[in-house]
Amino acid sequence: MALWDRLKESAQAMQAQLEERKNELRGGAFRDAGMAMCALVAAADGVIDPAERRRVGYLIEHNEVLRNFPAEDLRSLFEDWLDRLAADPEGTRAEALREIARARKKPVEARAVVQIGIVIGGADGHFDHVERVVVRDACHVLDLPLHEFDL
C-alpha cells in the first residue's frame, strides 16, 4: 500500500475516533491545546502558508468535534497562535507546547489533540518530517507513547 494511502486511512481512522468521543471533548483545555497544535503544525516548516490557514479554517467549520466550540473563537485562537509564532517562533513554540501539556490531565483530550495534529498534518497528502516532529513533541509533553500514533 502506498504511503499516501496509509496516511489517508490513518487520518480517517483518527477522525472517526475523534467523532466517537465528541461528547467528551468539550473542555477549554482541549480547545486551547487543539488550536495550539494546529498552529504548530501549520507553522512547522517555518512558513505559514495561506493553504495551511485554509485547511485549519475548513477543519474548524466542518469537523464534528470542533463544532462543540464557536468557530469564531477557534479561528481567533488559531490566528493568535500564528501571529505569535511569526513574531517569536522559538518562544511561542515552547509556550504552545506548555498549552498542549495542559491537556495531559485528561487522556481522552490528550489523545484527541495529537489526532488533530495528525489530521492537519496529513490534510495536504504529505505528513512532512517537520510536522511529525511537532506531533512527536506534543506526544512527549502529553506523556503519550509515539507508537500509539505510528510516529
CATH code, domain carrying 67: 1.10.3680.10
pLDDT single digits (tens) 57-107:
888 888 888 888 999 999 999 999 999 999 999 999 999 999 999 999 999
66: containing domain = 26-149
**Domain-located, residue 14:** no
Q: What is the per-residue pLDDT for 4?
A: 46
pLDDT on residue 55? 84
- Alpha carbon distance 59, 29 (integer Å): 18
Average pLDDT estimate for 3-23: 59
Domain count, the chain: 1
User: How many residues in total does the chain contain?
Assistant: 151
Structural domain includes residue 66: yes
Q: With CA atoms as reference, report the closest residue to 27 among 69, 64, 78.
A: 69
End-to-end Cα distance, the chain: 18
Asked whether residue 98 is domain-assigned, the answer is: yes
Cα separation, 16 vs 6, in Å, equals 15
Task: Assess if residue 87 is contained within a domain.
Answer: yes
pLDDT at 10 over 60: no
Q: Does residue 60 belong to any structural domain of this protein?
A: yes
Asked whether residue 2 is assigned to any structural domain, the reply reads no
Quick one: pLDDT at residue 15? 62
The residues, any chain, with a CB within 8 Å of residue 132's CB and separated by 6 or more, are 121, 151
Neighbour-count burial for 4-38, b at 16+ CB within 10 Å, e otherwise: eeebeebbeebbeebeeeeeebebebbbbbbbbbb
| 151: number of Cβ within 10 Å | 16
As a whole number, mean pLDDT of residues 129-140 equals: 94
In a domain, 37, yes or no: yes
Residue 18 lies in a domain: no
| Structure confidence by residue, pLDDT tens digits, 32-64 | 999 999 999 999 988 887 878 888 888 888 888
